[in-house]
Structure 1
Amino acid sequence: MNLPNLLTLCRFGLIPIYVVFFTTNQLKTAFLIVVLAGVTDVLDGYLARKRGQITQVGAMLDPLADKCMMLTVIISLLVSGMIPWMVAVAMFIRDAGMIIGSAFFHFRGKQTVPANSLGKLTTVLYYFAFLFIFFDFSFAIAYLWFVVGVSFVTSIIYIILFLALNRKNDTLSQ
């Protein structure tokens, strides 16, 4: 256990705290919890790289913590009627697919693709979408649809990188 992994675990702990604030209609505080989760995500990645503490466990738990927080936010926004069900389904399919796919291939000994700048940009775009939704900007849902489109493009790029990485590793091991 190292500090970056501990910060990742803290992100899992922020999920029920977010739910409590959201369900008690303290939306600004709930949004700040989401931002805090984002800050811990940036911080754990920075510390892991700076201290040379990148681990396989961290590489798997970090995106899982992010996806779990995102799915929690999506579900809460859907249940509250703040986003349409179609956008929630699109977001859920994308994020659940990434979680299930990563876990499936990880446990089969496949290499996972580390987060890259396009994935990080997509996350930042989602945070802006949440900001716009939580603070009721008129263009929030249109912007969210744009971000969902970007996230699917990002996922396709990750899949291509994953296939290339593992094809290369399979060739080297033969």
Structure 2
Amino acid sequence: MAGRSAGAVGTEIWTIPNLLSMLRLVLVPFFLWAVIAGDYVLALVILVVASLTDLLDGFLARRLGQITRLGQLLDPAADRLYIFAALLGLAANSLVPWWIVIVIVSRDVFLLVLGIVLANHGFGPLPVHQLGKVATFALFFGLPVIMLGLAFPAVQPVSEPIGWAITVWGAFLYWWAGVIYAIETSRAIRIPRVSDDSRSDTLEQGG
């Protein structure tokens, strides 16, 4: 199948990049089970496979011209699910405090509320902010570094403080990005009201 023009977003479902994203989603329950079971070596292997498929599906989507709306939804969803699974598994084993789970999950609930507000005003989701990408990357990197010390105790004295530093910083950036999304949402929902009023005045003047 010929690729689309650069920048075009398709509606296909069964593309190679989408299938790779679906594979990442299928692996999430196995990753969660491995973390809860304390098999951190297996958890890290699954995470490496998921990360490689993430890089590959992004490359193929651009290379083959198969960027799709479904793919744009699956990629961030998979990233968040892996973060949540790591947090829940580690918290269930009392290896991370539940407060950090609440902090991170509540931010996504906050964004869900913003999405509902935007939808009620006729807007789609806001574009992903660069800070949000950095925050997600920090969490996606920091939590596995913590697990690295659990899988290989010899490196734990080094990996644990580094992993925690990155994870806490990622949680801070995660909420910082959330505040930016809230500000952008506040600005966006004012636009249609002003535009509608302007259009009404124009119609009345045009008679």
TM-score range, shorter chain: 0.7 to 0.9
The equivalent residue for 1:150 is 173
Instruction: Using the TM superposition, give the Cα deviation of residue 105 of structure 1 relative to its aligned residue in structure 2, in angstroms.
Output: 6.5
- Aligned pair in 2 of structure 1 residues 6, 159: CA closer, same or farther (>3 Å)? farther
Gaps of 5+ in 1: none
Decide which moves more: 14-23 or 144-153: 14-23
Contact 1:111 1:162 in 2 (8 A): no
Contact 1:22 1:76 in 2 (8 A): yes
Q: Deviations over 1:13-42 (max 9, x none)?
A: 011121232233210220232233233233
Contact 1:74 1:92 in 2 (8 A): no
Query: What's the secondary structure of 2:31's corresponding residue?
Result: helix
Following superposition of structure 1 onto structure 2, how do residues 1-174 of structure 1 map, counting pairs within 5 Å? 1=13, 2-98=15-111, 100-101=112-113, 104=116, 110-134=123-147, 135=149, 136=156, 137-139=159-161, 140-161=163-184
TM-score by length of 2: 0.68
Contact 1:83 1:141 in 2 (8 A): no
Instruction: Using the TM superposition, give the Cα deviation of residue 114 of structure 1 relative to its aligned residue in structure 2, in angstroms.
Output: 3.8
Matched residue type, 1:154? A
Matched residue type, 2:138? L
Contact 1:8 1:61 in 2 (8 A): yes
CA RMSD of aligned residues (A): 2.9
Identity of aligned residues (%): 27
Instruction: Using the TM superposition, give the Cα deviation of residue 54 of structure 1 relative to its aligned residue in structure 2, in angstroms.
Output: 2.3
TM-score by length of 1: 0.78
Matched residue type, 2:38? N
Equivalent-residue separation in structure 2 for 1:118 and 1:39 (angstroms): 22
Contact 1:21 1:29 in 2 (8 A): yes
Instruction: Using the TM superposition, give the Cα deviation of residue 152 of structure 1 relative to its aligned residue in structure 2, in angstroms.
Output: 0.9
Q: Deviations over 1:67-125 (max 9, x none)?
A: 22221111111111111111111011123434x34764687663223445433322221
Equivalent-residue separation in structure 1 for 2:49 and 2:133 (angstroms): 16
Decide which moves more: 100-109 or 45-54: 100-109
Equivalent-residue separation in structure 2 for 1:8 and 1:33 (angstroms): 14
Gaps of 5+ in 2: 1-12, 150-155, 200-207
Number of equivalences: 173
Equivalent-residue separation in structure 2 for 1:156 and 1:61 (angstroms): 23
